[in-house]
Structure 1
Amino acid sequence: MQDLRIYVAIFDLKWRVWLRVLFSIKIRPRKPQQVCLLGATGSGKTSCFLALRNGKASATVPSMVENRCELSLLKLANSVGKEKKEAIIAAAYSRGVEAAAATAAAANACITRLAANDALDASIFLVDTPGHPRLRPAAAAAAAESSILIFFVDAADKPSFKAAAELLFDLFCNPKIIEKKPSLLLVVNKTDKPEARGQQAVIEDLEREIERVRVCRQASLDAEERENALVGIEGHRFILDDCPLPLCICSAAVTIGDLSAIPYFIIRHTTT
């Protein structure tokens, strides 16, 4: 009988200790993924940031400071209302941008399905980085901490392609970014402007500019440094298919509310 009491006491003590340990453990919520908006000055990053955060587009001036906010995926999905989405799709068709309109329509339909399945019960950290050349190190640091990169190119400002190419090349050479392998969406923005170049023309111009940057940079390196900093395929002209990150491309007109596939891209790469 005495032995039984001892066993019961030991069991009770172990049970109490186990319960204390169990209740002392704090379940940490999953840290939201970070989404980084990148691009040259004036490419539309801050306009997109405000459109996603506030649900409406607004005109901005080039920013010299970083903007941050936490955003629920459900709010992101509703960043453009149903009527506005339908108007944007119709406007895209009227401008002859059938592919962009079809992409936007498919993205909106997918977001609707995700919302119905409660797949949007999560948040992201949205970071808008300045595009000024002096602030590129800060932008690169933010990109290295992000799992999704949204890179903007101003389709209506061909001279800005050189700065965009330099930024992209720096991203492709950054070892921390390459190791993390964030998903990259290249946004050909401001397609509503009369002087805007088409998406394919912008891609070809960017590829030529990136190739010029690559040749110039590698000419100043020794053999070992060139091997470590190689972007693309040696002996071949650079094309975006050789990008070291998972890459998608879309067209948009952020200032008129046409976010195209941007919300869908973020949601798809956050919920999968």
Structure 2
Amino acid sequence: MVAFDQPIVIAGLVLSLVAVIIFVVLSAVGKKQSRNTILLLGVNDAGKTSLYTLLRYGKVASTVTSMKENEGTWNVENKIMELVDIPGHARVRYRYTDFLPVSRCILFVIDSTTISRQVRPVAEYLYQLLAQHTVQTQRTPILIVCNKSDMITALPVSKIQPLLESEINRLRSTRTAAVEKQASETDEQEAFLGYEGEDFKFEHLDNNVEFEQCSVVQNDIDKVTQWVVSV
């Protein structure tokens, strides 16, 4: 029978544990570094493409509605990011799901001047995004960019956030009822957003969702840039 020196065994176990911890940490860092794509999402005419051109080229260019995504690099604070601007048209916006696995964060752009009358389609798009399995498992940070804040008709964040929360709460009730009705037909169910038995709040989500005002035409996007760098 072989006798083991207890201190040597303990030292070996400690070294093994340290090696595992280092591997896990390096794997996590590697995965985060590999996710260097910034998605720009939102409905038509919110200012996504204008924000894309401002971030990438440093100036606002005239844009037209496109059915194809724009892709390019963005050098910010010595970091190279990949920008992907997904068209806002309902027929093609689903393409954003292809980029979710490599997304570092998401900029969801809305028009602060029309959100009160466009809240339904905006909330529906946002709901679909928040319910994505990849967004939830990766806890993808999302910044809701309230564009056109320079306009006199623009709503402040203090009104936009509860407006969206209220609409998503209504959508959640409708979708939950539909899922329960069809439960016998499929085993796959849409993820429930927030806390059951409570009105929906963005703060109830596992991933970080924040709001910032900006004005692309006024080149007032410093807070957006700072947020991207911080996540």
TM-score range, shorter chain: 0.7 to 0.9
Deviation string 1:169-227 (CA, Å, 9 cap, x unpaired) is: 11111112211221111111111112111111111111111112111211111286797
Runs of 4+ in 1 over 4 A off after TM superposition: 223-228
Larger Rg: 1
**Hey, what does 1:61 align to over in structure 2?**
64
Tell me the TM-score normalized by structure 1. 0.66
CA contact (8 A) 1:152 1:186 kept: yes
Structure 1 partner of 2:215: 253
Following the alignment from structure 1 to structure 2, what is the Cα–Cα distance between the partners of residues 257 and 229? 37
Matches within 5 A, 1:92-131: 120=78, 122-131=79-88
> For 2:106, which of 138, 149, 165 is the aligned residue?
149
- Equivalent residues in 2 for 1:152-191, closer than 5 Å: 152-157=109-114, 158-191=116-149
- Tell me the equivalent position of 1:39: 42
Number of the residue aligned with 1:238: 200
Listed as ranges, the gaps of 5+ residues in structure 1 are 1-29, 75-119
Percentage of pairs with the same residue: 27
Task: Tell me by how many angstroms 1:240 deviates.
Answer: 1.6
Partner of 1:262: 224
Match of 2:73 among 47, 63, 70: 70
Residue of 118, 142, 152 corresponding to 1:194? 152
Q: CA 1:141–1:32 in 2, change beyond 3 Å: closer, same or farther?
A: closer
Between the aligned partners of 1:228 and 1:130, the Cα distance in structure 2 is 24
Sort the Cα spacing of 1:241 and 1:123 in 2 relative to 1 into closer, same or farther, 3 A: same
How high is the TM-score relative to the length of structure 2?
0.77
Provide the rounded CA distance (Å) in 1 between the counterparts of 2:44 and 2:161.
18
Q: Which residue identity does 1:155 align to in structure 2?
A: S
Local SS of the residue matching 1:211: helix
Render the CA deviation track for 1:126-167: whole Å, top value 9, x for unaligned.
Answer: 111111111132023323431111111111012222121111
Residues 31 and 240 of structure 1: CA distance in aligned 2, closer, same or farther (over 3 Å): closer
Which runs of 5 or more residues in structure 2 are unaligned?
A: 1-32
Contact 2:41 2:86 (8 Å CA) reproduced: yes
Q: What count of residue pairs does the alignment treat as equivalent?
A: 195
Instruction: Give the number of the structure whose residues are more often helix, by fraction.
Output: 1
Which is bigger in relative contact order (C-alpha 8 A, separation at least 6)? 1
Distance 1:267 1:56, change over 3 A: same
**Alpha-carbon offset, residue 263 of structure 1:** 1.2
